[in-house]
Each structure stands twice: as C-alpha cells, then as structure tokens.
Amino acid sequence: MAINISGQPGLPFPLKTGFTAAYQKATFWKCDYSSAGAAHAYWVILPNTLKPTAIKPQQLKEVGLTNIGIYNTIDKTLPYIEVWVAYETVTNGKSPVVWLLNKVQITGEKVLHQNMITYPDGSKNIDVLTSKTIGNGEQVISRFTGISKGNNYYVLKASCNQKDYAAQAKNIFHIVSHWGLK
C-alpha cells in the first residue's frame, strides 16, 4: 500500500507503469553487473539513454555504503536521470526496512511517499520516494528500494530533477522495480 507522507499530491508515485512489452524492448536494456565480484553481482533494467559511468567499488564513508554502480543519462539534450547501486555488510541483524530508512535519513532526504514490498520469498522491504535540495538550489526527486542477501543489504536509488520528475516517474518506477541479485 502506498502512503503519502508529505501531503504533496502533485508528485506521482506510480506502482504500475502500463508499459507494453514492445515499448519495454525498444526503450530499456538489461545491465548485468559483476565488477565487485560474484557475491555482489546484480542486474538492473535501465532506459537506453543511461550508460554506466562508474562500476568500480567506491566507499561512501558518510553513509557507510560501498557504491558498486553509477549510471547516468549521457545525452545532454534529454532529461537527466542518475541511478546508483550500493551495499553494506550488516552484522547487527537490523531489518532491511529499518536499514534502508536509516540510509535515506543519513543522506538528508525528505520522505514523500513509501510503499511496502513483499518479495516472493516472503522477505519485505520498502520503496521510498524522497526530495532533497542540492548545492545549487535544485530539488532532486529520488526513489529508493532495497534488497538483502544474507548480511549484505543493497540499495538502488534512481533520481532526477523535480522539474522532470512527472514525465520520468514511470521510467524511474520501472528501474527501481526491475532489479535483483544474481
């Protein structure tokens, strides 16, 4: 169930895209990632306009994560989308939902909407839409989801400028709802 936390009804929070199979085949590509080793291999479905810009593991000490993939819109004439995947090895048994909400809080994001996800294996995580003002005063809208495998907790974040978000909301939902671990 989607929950509107902010009271901002103007920002869409799609839970379905309605994309046809033909549209998906023409518009998206499957990225298979394994640069951080088999233990951290994942796949993600990305728009054809996004390309990998960083795939070597990089420590993000301020949030306690290791970033293992960054994908960006390369064509400057198109609305910019950025996607990143990161993980943390957790030893305290914290629930994946609590873990992900904590990471969102550490990054200074304001939660606008959230949706609980139950995976086929019965595990749960959360899908969160956020807003953040960055250094140049721009509002950035991001959607976070998480997956866990053993003690490794993973987060995928897809972001765009608020002025482009309404037009990109279904693409962003498609990205965050079409990824997994190998």
Q: What is the pLDDT along the chain (182 residues), one digit of tens a residue?
A: 455 555 455 799 999 999 999 999 999 999 999 999 999 999 999 999 999 999 999 999 999 999 999 999 999 999 999 999 999 999 988 899 999 999 999 999 999 999 998 876 777 889 999 999 998 899 999 999 999 999 999 999 999 999 999 999 999 999 999 999 99
Q: Residue 87, Cα to own-chain centre: how many angstroms?
A: 12
Query: Which amino acid makes up residue 132?
Result: K
Return the pLDDT at 1: 46
3-state DSSP: the chain helix, strand, coil percent, rounded to 5? 20, 45, 35
Query: Model pTM?
Result: 0.92
d(CA 44, CA 167): 21
Return the pLDDT at 125: 85
Half-sphere exposure of 17 (CA within 13 A, CB side): 17
- What tokens does 7 get? 């009271």
Tell me, letter by letter, the H, E, C secondary structure of 9-31.
CCCCCCCCCCCCHHHHHHHEEEE
- What tokens does 43 get? 């796949």
Return the pLDDT at 109: 95
- What tokens does 11 get? 């920002």
User: Exposed, middle or buried, 149 (CB in 10 Å: 0-12/13-18/19+)?
Assistant: middle
Return the pLDDT at 15: 94
- What tokens does 88 get? 């943390």
CB 152 within 8 A of CB 89: yes
